[in-house]
Structure 1
Amino acid sequence: MSTSLLLLVVIALLYTAGIYLVLDRSLTRVLLGVLVLGNATNLLVISAGGPFGAAALVGRAPEPAMSDALVQALVLTAIVITLGVAAFLLSIIHRTWTLDREDDLTEDTEDRSVRRRLASGEQVDEDELDTTGCEATSDTDDERARSAAAGGGS
């Protein structure tokens, strides 16, 4: 089977454009990137599925002349998955727009401070961070010492 060189170039361009859009901070562009990646994947599966043939109905054509029905099932499944991911991203975009009136993801201030501390060579201990990744502000050194003395701390 020989796949058209033009089709391979189109698939490569779609993957390139999709990855470029997914790496942007705008959630709308991320959604468009996911949709483009889904279409590129569908084209790749179809082109890798073999030559086109007759419908996969027994008795209509000889078996070697039939096209593979698995390719069609995989593409249909990929379309449904892409639709589900798009719906999820649309709900995230709607929630972000409702709360912030913008769809750009901004950098978290805590991420910036941790990155600055790591760049300066300062050690960032895991016990300084709570489960959400933010610095713990409720425990003071005295409270930690009391809980350690009571046998409840590290």
Structure 2
Amino acid sequence: MTPTLILAVAGGALTAAGVYLLLERSLMRILAGLMLASNGVNLLFLVAAGPAGLAPIVGQDPEQIADPLPQAMVLTAIVITLAASALLLAMSYRSFQLEGHDEVADDVEDAIVRRRAEADLSSEAYVELTPEAQPDTESGGRAGDAR
């Protein structure tokens, strides 16, 4: 077993644990899931970039230097994850101040959509027209007009 395989398995495990935590209702668990998933994806990205090499300095053998692009992209992803984590932490703190917990509440509209889907009902705004009542598009919308 090579170190690359171990790193790939570790990255997969981090990503899987992060996705599991992202599906929870507590904002702190969502934050932990975001951190785990992002670190797992960053690790997988660096593993997929290839073996480690020399520093990318001009004048060295191009076959032995490391590709700097994946490293730069992972650094950018780290900064973005830091900003998203700060936002989620602020949201969790504010939710705890207002409600005493950081649980995400059910959305009223989502509950209505879920009940309609379970009952297999269509939306009230959607009315299916009968073939006789559908607009006539060939004559410019004048279905009753007999020229």
TM-score norm. by structure 2 comes to 0.75
**Counterpart of 1:69?**
68
Aligned ranges 1:103-122 → 2 under 5 Å: 103-109=102-108, 111-122=110-121
Whole-angstrom distance in 2 between the partners of 1:31 and 1:41: 15
**Counterpart of 2:88?**
89
3-state DSSP class of the match of 1:51?
coil
**Counterpart of 1:29?**
29
Assess if the C-alpha contact under 8 Å between 2:45 and 2:70 holds in 1. Answer: yes
Aligned ranges 1:4-153 → 2 under 5 Å: 4-59=4-59, 61-109=60-108, 111-126=110-125
Task: Please tell me the residue identity of whatever aligns with 1:81.
Answer: I
3-state DSSP class of the match of 1:65?
coil
**Counterpart of 1:139?**
none
List per-residue Cα deviations over 1:94-115 (Å, max 9, x = no partner). 2211211101112235543453
Task: Please tell me the residue identity of whatever aligns with 1:82.
Answer: T
**C-alpha distance 42-115 of structure 1, shift in aligned 2 (>3 A):** closer
How many pairs are equivalent? 125
**Counterpart of 1:138?**
none
Deviation at 1:87, TM superposition (A): 1.2
Whole-angstrom distance in 2 between the partners of 1:117 and 1:64: 60
Whole-angstrom distance in 1 between the partners of 2:111 and 2:54: 59
Assess if the C-alpha contact under 8 Å between 2:8 and 2:43 holds in 1. Answer: no
Identity of paired residues, percent?
42
Runs of 4+ in structure 1 deviating by more than 4 angstroms, as ranges, are: none
Assess if the C-alpha contact under 8 Å between 1:97 and 1:103 holds in 2. Answer: yes
What runs of 5+ residues in structure 2 fail to find an aligned partner?
127-147
Question: Structure 1 or 2: larger helix share?
Answer: 1
Assess if the C-alpha contact under 8 Å between 2:12 and 2:44 holds in 1. Answer: no
